[in-house]
A and B are shown apart, each in its own frame.
Chain A
Amino acid sequence: MDFFQVLQIIIPSMIALAAPLIFTSLGGVFSERAGVINIGLEGLMVIGAFTGIVFNLMFADVFGEWTPWLAVLAAMIAGLLFSILHAVACITFRADQTVSGVAINLLAVGLTMFLVKLIFDKGQTDRITETFPRIDVPLLSDIPFIGPIFFANGYYIVYIAILISFVVWYVLYKTPFGLRIRAVGEHPMAADTMGVNVTKIRYAAVLLSGAFGGIGGAIYATIFSNEFNHATINGQGFMAIAAMIFGKWHPIGAMGAALFFGLAQSLSIVGSSLPFFKDIPSVYLLIAPYVLTIIALTGFIGRADAPKASGQPYIKGKR
């Protein structure tokens, strides 16, 4: 097996594994840039995964091959609705944001497994029949060398994820809405005096993070697990948070970090069948994203600083 073939196995699986992480970490970027810590991304992914799978099972006959796309849409809405809880607790009720996030995670797993047992009368859902097809991107996959590695045997949704991260960058850095999000995350009082509605912007940011988290969960469940059970989403959300921090709260950075973590995950799965990699115990690849994030935070690879006002509720009139 030569190097080219190895790349042909690793790269597509890396990009595919990165897609859910990209979406979810972009959600995290929105929320934290507005000053609301969202540990609940894991729970929002759980909700997304559950909704995606159940929608897929219920409507596969009606929508045919469009089912996975509509399922992702449904998961987006479900994630958005569920994140209202986090928004209300953190913004209106001034709850501790980390505690509320923990509650979101517990509630998501409890609620979805309760519903699974109610609907399916067992510990997991049935397996879905309609999933995203593997495709070769027209034209691009014909490029010599690069084409077969990056644009063959992939999923459309994965390329959409990468494109969306540029869209999010544009929204955050080139639009008034993005400027307001960043302002309320750095110095809400200054933003308030300039006439920005802090509460409204923060609500919008948290709901966006819910929508993105829902999408991420649905993609993960649809492509990789094909069913939903209590362990379908196991740390994906926290890995997305890690990607967001590793990417220094920047959309493109988060996307890059998600791709890198996708590589680590893909190596831990397919590495055992490849030369060079089979001698590395998979545990190193499994813990790599987490350990690297800690190292990134301590400042050995350029210090990562959170938005200034993250974690603090904004109380009007209080200095």
Chain B
Amino acid sequence: MSKYLSKLTSPLIAVILGLVVGAIIMLVSGYDPVAGYGSMVNGIIGDSYYVGESVRTIIPYILAGLAVAFAFRTGLFNIGVEGQLIVGWLAAVWVGIAFDLPRIIHLPLAILAGAAAGALWAFIPGYLKAKFRVHEVIVSIMLNYTALYVTNYLIRNVMTDKLDKTERIADTASLRSPFFESITDFSRMHWGIVVAIICVIIMWFLLERTKTGFELKAVGFNQHASEYAGMSVNKNIILSMVISGAFAGLAGAMEGLGTFGYAAVKGGFTGMGFDGIAVALLGANTAIGVVLAALLFGGLKAGALNMPLETGIPSEIVDIVIALIIFFVASSYFIRWIAARFKKGVK
């Protein structure tokens, strides 16, 4: 038990420090931090509508977090989740519009199209890393912008005639749920939560219970040792990026098929891909950790929307808090150092 506790300390301290600094910023700006955080909590679980919207926000956060975490376990930094997400979004919506099929085929097909598009987009940095030893971070950053501009072009010039968003997807490809809507006062909560939970289980099972997962982790720990043991490092690098990209594509598909039901021209990034990095880091790159971190960050993001309404505090305060939490988690060396000092002092 104490082993689990000590694993939890440094993320917990990071979260607390982030919230404390957020409170200080609110105080300095002349707002009441207690009222601010109060309105935020209200915006997360205040009534059934807010709960539904929070769950809806958490869905892509879980999937984006899984994507980053999965690549991390193989020693890869998939900063391209944002681009893979956008591509997956568009592919899922395209299948949702273009085909006329019964629901039982259409919906899985649209979801798989999103995953496949994300996987394909992540295959590029994976392949270039394996083949040419090009750093995956730079390639996937460049692919993020490529994805943004290409999808915008496709929406405007291929899927529509100079319009800013596509038509709505067919009902047979929609994840929208009248049941969830009825119990959450008509929020946009949808069946994507089931997809997200299935993916969490897949990630856990794949990494902890299969030979493939063992190889992927081994490559992450020590490439040379894995090579020596007869594993193909290059194959595992590509495989890891492809699976990671599939999770990212699914995150986009959930937005396209569930929340919005269409794809729109974007002026900038959704930000979900970058927040996925925060989720994975805070969740220590484990399946269950990602779920907990996604609950926190997704909740913060959803609750932030209520802050300007109730207390007039700009919702950006939550972006600041999330960025600070990443800082503190990344600097965990410092937190451990402080903790060690503190323990010595007590003795």
Residues of A within 8 A of B278 (CB): 106
Q: Which of A110-118, A143-151, A247-255 contacts B (4 or more CB under 8 A)?
A: A110-118
Residues of B within 8 A of A103 (CB): 323-324, 326-327, 330
In the complex with contacts A93-B331, A234-B267, A283-B149, A298-B128 CB distance below 8 A: yes
Name which residue of chain A comes closest to B152, CB basis: A283
Once the chains bind, are A39 and B319 in contact (CB under 8 Å)?
no
Q: Mark A107-125, 1 if CB is under 8 A from B, else 0.
A: 1011101100110000000
Within 8 A of A (CB), among B119-147: 124, 128, 132, 134-135, 137-139, 141-146
Question: Which of A114, A286, A293, A306 has a CB less than 8 Å from the CB of B320?
Answer: A114
Residues of A within 8 A of B138 (CB): 241, 245, 293-294, 297
In the complex with contacts A231-B268, A293-B142, A89-B331 CB distance below 8 A: yes
Once the chains bind, are A106 and B326 in contact (CB under 8 Å)?
yes
Once the chains bind, are A89 and B327 in contact (CB under 8 Å)?
yes
Residues of A within 8 A of B267 (CB): 231, 234
Question: Which of B79, B149, B320, B327 has a CB less than 8 Å from the CB of A98?
Answer: B79
Q: Mark B272-293, 1 if CB is under 8 A from A, else 0.
A: 0011011001000000000000
Within 8 A of B (CB), among A203-242: 230-231, 234-235, 238-239, 241-242
Residue with the highest number of chain A CB atoms closer than 10 Å, among B29, B132, B144, B149: B149
Once the chains bind, are A100 and B330 in contact (CB under 8 Å)?
yes
Q: Mark B247-284, 1 if CB is under 8 A from A, else 0.
A: 00000000000000000000110000011011001000
Within 8 A of A (CB), among B59-91: 77, 79
Within 8 A of B (CB), among A261-304: 281, 283, 286-287, 290-291, 293-294, 297-299
Q: B157: CB under 8 A from chain A?
A: yes
Q: B183: CB under 8 A from chain A?
A: no
Within 8 A of B (CB), among A70-111: 85, 89, 92-96, 98-100, 102-107, 109-111
In the complex with contacts A287-B146, A287-B150, A298-B132, A114-B277 CB distance below 8 A: no
Residues of A within 8 A of B99 (CB): none
Name which residue of chain A comes closest to B153, CB basis: A283
Residues of B within 8 A of A39 (CB): 79, 137, 141
CA distance A163 to B317 in the complex (A): 40
Residues of B within 8 A of A291 (CB): 142, 146
Once the chains bind, are B331 and A106 in contact (CB under 8 Å)?
no
CA distance A207 to B151 in the complex (A): 37
In the complex with contacts A110-B320, A231-B268, A287-B149, A94-B333 CB distance below 8 A: yes
Q: Mark B27-56, 1 if CB is under 8 A from A, else 0.
A: 001000000000000000000000000000
Q: Mark A51-85, 1 if CB is under 8 A from B, else 0.
A: 00000000000000000000000000000000001
Once the chains bind, are B139 and A106 in contact (CB under 8 Å)?
no
CA distance A257 to B29 in the complex (A): 42
Once the chains bind, are B149 and A95 in contact (CB under 8 Å)?
no
Once the chains bind, are A234 and B141 in contact (CB under 8 Å)?
no
CA distance A293 to B145 in the complex (A): 12
* Min CB gap B289→A, angstroms: 16
Residues of B within 8 A of A93 (CB): 330-331, 333-334
Q: B178: CB under 8 A from chain A?
A: no
Once the chains bind, are A107 and B150 in contact (CB under 8 Å)?
no
Once the chains bind, are B319 and A299 in contact (CB under 8 Å)?
no
Q: B314: CB under 8 A from chain A?
A: yes
* Min CB gap B140→A, angstroms: 10
Within 8 A of A (CB), among B142-174: 142-146, 149-150, 152-153, 157
23 A-B pairs with C-beta separation under 8 A? A89-B330, A94-B333, A95-B327, A95-B330, A95-B331, A98-B137, A102-B79, A102-B274, A103-B330, A106-B278, A107-B324, A110-B320, A111-B320, A113-B314, A114-B29, A234-B268, A238-B141, A283-B150, A283-B152, A290-B142, A290-B146, A297-B134, A298-B128
Give the 4 A-B CB pairs with smallest separation, nearest first: A110-B319, A107-B323, A95-B330, A106-B323
- Residues on A facing B (Cβ under 8 Å): 39, 85, 89, 92-96, 98-100, 102-107, 109-111, 113-114, 117-118, 230-231, 234-235, 238-239, 241-242, 245, 281, 283, 286-287, 290-291, 293-294, 297-299, 306
**Given A102-B326, A107-B320, A298-B128, 5 extra CB contacts under 8 A:** A111-B320, A113-B316, A235-B145, A245-B138, A298-B134
- Residues on B facing A (Cβ under 8 Å): 25, 29, 77, 79, 124, 128, 132, 134-135, 137-139, 141-146, 149-150, 152-153, 157, 267-268, 274-275, 277-278, 281, 314, 316-320, 322-324, 326-327, 330-331, 333-334
